Structure 1
């Protein structure tokens, strides 16, 4: 397994984030949405996972006082199944804790049991259902949360 390193994402990473976003999600964020995260969302904090100087994944969190909302956790499909998603999420949670976050939430498709299992390994619990949350197919989202 080639070593994966993590660093804070910058605006220069937007093209890499888009490449991963469109490969992973059926309702991908736009370039404009990512640019907004870097330029105008004062609460946004993004990290990238790199392997051999190539971005293979990314994750984001909005940090608002002591609460965090995880926006995305994504590993390029070519690199999935190697434990990188788990490492990426662990790093994101470490950063959130460093920023005094005590409660984190996220939404995940009800059909994405693989991601739900990963989140549960980190102590996330099932919360509410957001009906018809995803615009591509009107799928419900499961809200999950964890408190430190």
Structure 2
């Protein structure tokens, strides 16, 4: 992801979450946070951002902090392919586990994460400030990549 991608990312962010991240939050993650990696998926013409993710890698764990798909590209397998890419990236960076939080009301994301090998391991009470909804903490192991 580059600074030029932020407007497209914000379009997705603003329609995907009740309390969206700001432009400055994305800029901080992209330009200043040494643990952060940000990714976008674009149309074949490379003109439209259709998905994005912000992850942190600390030691051997990847934490998926923010991930979303443009609404008109949902239910087409984009999210599953993008998540698969993130898991492969985690393995390539030496990660052994991946964690994330998800709203209990986000049935589509819960289904995707379960299909992708994530399992619930706990709850964070009143995690989301907008609704005070809990967060389900999900986790999965990453298999070591064979040496090339």
What is the TM-score when the length of structure 2 is the normalising length? 0.91
Counterpart mapping for 1:135-146 below 5 A: 135-146=129-140
**Counterpart mapping for 1:87-102 below 5 A:** 87-102=81-96
1:84 aligned residue: 78
1:69 to 59, 63, 73: 63
What is the number of residues matched between the two proteins? 140
- In the aligned structure 1, how far is the partner of 2:53 from the partner of 2:138? 16
Q: What is the aligned partner in structure 1 of residue 33 from structure 2?
A: 41
- Whole-angstrom distance in 2 between the partners of 1:60 and 1:18: 13
Q: If each structure's strand is expressed as a fraction of its own residues, which one has the higher value? A: 1
Structure 2 counterpart of 1:24? 16
The TM-score normalised by the length of structure 1 is 0.91
- Mapped to 1, the partners of 2:8 and 2:19 lie a distance apart of 17
How many angstroms apart in 1 are the aligned matches of 2:19 and 2:88? 28
After the TM superposition, list the runs of 4 or more consecutive aligned residues in structure 1 that deviate by more than 6 angstroms.
none
The runs of 5 or more residues in structure 1 that have no matched partner are 1-8
RMSD of aligned residue pairs (Cα, Å):
1.0
